[in-house]
Amino acid sequence: MNKSVLITGANAGIGKDTARQLAMLNHTEKIYLACRNRVKAEEAKKDLEEKTGRKVFEIIVMDVSNLNSVRNAVMSMNEPVDALIMNAGGMGGKTPEKITSDGVTQITATNLLGHVYLLDEMIKYDKLKKTALFASSEAARGIEKTGMKRPSLKTSSVKEFKEVFNGKAFGNDFDAMQVYGVIKYGGTMWMSSMARKHPHLRFISMSPGGTRGTQGFDDMPLLQRIMFKYIGMPIFMPLLGLSHSLEKGASRFVEGINNPAFKSGIFYGSKKNVLTGKLVDQSSIFSDLSNQKFQDNAYEAIRSFLY
């Protein structure tokens, strides 16, 4: 079991409820809330302590889209953690297509590049002892019922992955919803490659499923946001097996790091055509996910923006 866990994006939504659920387990001794805003982190910490009755939470200020912030956060850690949950992410704010100083789109920086650097730094400085979990999404293999297409890379070469991460692959047709799925695909492939390169650790990609009560839709245009957040997710999508509660989404992360049945290098998510229920290996739905060459290409491509 994991006595200490670091969670990125832990001040709200799935990250915060994951922290709550972990605190309810007697073996959990320390939970690091990695958040970019200290004020919001303090509010989350206070609320979590009140709800759980435990004083196991500690704040680490970290903006995963800023590599200096990530490095400083790792350097501030006095001891290693058993598990890392890379939960921070989203649609990349109001300008997901904007290119950062590191040469990637904002949506790539938020969901992937910062986590790649975080994990590398933690491994480099022996700050991770057991398990790393990456918050992926069924969008990485396509969600037919929602109109999210399966990532359609022609070759999944290093060059093609680079153009996904820097936005060139999308040209003027930058649909953040579709791009999000391709970025999660790239991140999932990177994790599977990491699993083979570091066999002494466990690397799991896990989708929380279609989860209500998150901030994932907050950067959508107003009409879309209203439709998804207040009508689709709570009313219609549960009927189609496309959404479940925040608690159920977060419980997938808790089970992912604590249950050894989840194997390193595998991407776990919902069965085909649903976003809830039993967890299955997603390569059974999209075979490219198990292609080791593609995995290594994604690994090389994303790291090219760092080193």
Q: Three-class SS of residue 202?
A: strand
Amino acid 239: pLDDT: 43
Amino acid 172: pLDDT: 87
Amino acid 222: pLDDT: 55
Amino acid 94: pLDDT: 85
The answer to whether 164 touches 300, Cβ cutoff 8 Å, is: no
Tokens of 260: 């050894």
Strands in 57-61's sheet, in edge-to-edge order, are 57-61, 30-35, 4-8, 81-86, 128-135, 202-206, 267-270, 279-281
Dihedral sign of CA atoms 18, 11, 216, 97 in order: negative
**d(Cα 109, Cα 274) in Å, to the nearest integer?**
28
Amino acid 299: pLDDT: 99
Q: What is the DSSP-derived secondary structure letter of residue 149?
A: P
Amino acid 16: pLDDT: 98
Tokens of 153: 């890379």
**What are residue 141's phi and psi, to 5 degrees?**
-125, 5
Amino acid 221: pLDDT: 55
Residue 293 burial (10 A CB sphere; 0-12, 13-18, 19+): exposed
**d(Cα 78, Cα 248) in Å, to the nearest integer?**
32
pTM > 0.85: yes
Instruction: Select from 3.90.79.10, 2.60.40.1180, 3.40.50.360, 3.40.50.720 the CATH code of 4-303.
Output: 3.40.50.720
Rounded to 10 degrees, the C-alpha dihedral 256/262/268/271 comes to -110
Low-confidence ranges of the chain (pLDDT < 70): 145, 147, 213-241
**For residues 258-289, b (16+ Cβ closer than 10 Å) or e, as one string?**
beeebebbbbbbbbeebbbeebeebbebbebb
Nearest to 273, CA basis, from 224, 226, 209 = 209
Rounded to 10 degrees, the C-alpha dihedral 208/211/214/215 comes to 90
pLDDT in tens, 195-226: 999 999 999 999 999 887 555 555 555 555 55
Q: What is the DSSP-derived secondary structure letter of residue 210?
A: S
